[in-house]
Amino acid sequence: MRPIQIAAAWISVFYLAVPASAWNAMGHRAVAAIAYEHLTPQTRARVDELLKNHPDYGTLLTVDAPAGPATAIARAAFLAAAVWPDTIKGDARFYDNLHKDSLPTPLLPGFPDMARHTDWHYYDMPFSGDGSPTKEGSVPNALTESRRLIKEIAGHSTDAARLSYDLPWIEHISGDLHQPLHCVSRFLKSQPDGDAGGNFVFVSPHENLHAFWDDSAGTDTSDAYIAKYIKVAEAEHPISAALENNPQLELDPETWINEGFKIAKTNVYTFGPETGSKDAPIQLSTRYQGTASRVARAQIALAGYRLAAVLNASLK
């Protein structure tokens, strides 16, 4: 998620896809839905407990939860938590710590800080599309923070509030790093500072390449759509196949980034060094759009399996 903000009330924006967010709300909820089903009973009980202690549990995490039973509410909270780091980008309680003129907002109970941390959502691995120089990404980023958060939650800290804050971030970043354009920035002579993961590449359909890939899994956040989607995704990419390829499911986020970077080069930037423009966007073919949909299903299924594996290993 690049630092692009939306203006809306914090509850009303809960299920809206934020511009430049990795996977939209549907994609993150699908990752979380797959992960939740693959948690051990012990881990599931632990994540349910942690989320109940999150300061937004009674609002953002359960605002659209079913009336009952308790197990359904807990699952709904886990899915909502996966979107929470995007939601707070439109929340006036939090401030944009990357903007030089942004002043910190008052620290509220249960939160370690009130920053939006939009630089935690991506890792810009650079590559040149035309031989032009590249620049390394900044720190902190999705790699530094995912590793820190996983280590923190695996350490079983006695700071329950900290762990409750960490969990939605782990859910979210795990999903982010399986969207290929959250792992890359392409440099061209015409874009010497990079394209910010496709945000500065204009395409049709959609406003830019990054947003197109965010929505490549669909935009319907309903439980019915997500259930149908993950059924297809898991059928095409069963966990048995993932485990057969690697019994440990590659739980190091750096591996996820390297994979996403490779996918970006082989499946995303296939139209060449063009960047398009608002007036003349790159026309993405039906074949390209179909490839994006297939890649999304594979990556979302894998992200769900890996998220579950990370939490099972960390909270056992």
**Domain residue ranges in the chain:** 25-314
The token pair at 103 is 């002043």
Each residue's pLDDT tens digit, 270-309? 999 999 999 999 999 999 999 999 999 999 999 999 999 9
Identify the band that residue 258 occupies on the pLDDT scale cut at 50, 70 and 90.
Answer: very high
Q: Is the pLDDT score of 16 beyond 50?
A: no
Each residue's pLDDT tens digit, 167-192? 999 999 999 999 999 999 999 999 99
pTM, rounded to two decimals: 0.92
- 295 burial class (0-12, 13-18, 19+ CB within 10 angstroms)? buried
Q: Is the pLDDT score of 17 beyond 80?
A: no
C-alpha distances (whole Å) from 43 to each of 125, 127, 182, 302 are 33, 39, 28, 19
Which one is the CATH code of 25-314: 3.30.70.100, 1.10.575.10, 3.40.50.720, 3.90.79.10?
Answer: 1.10.575.10
Sequence length of the chain is 316
Which runs of consecutive H residues, i.e. helices, occur in the chain?
25-37, 41-52, 70-87, 142-154, 160-176, 209-214, 223-236, 239-245, 253-263, 286-314
Each residue's pLDDT tens digit, 111-127? 999 999 999 999 999 99
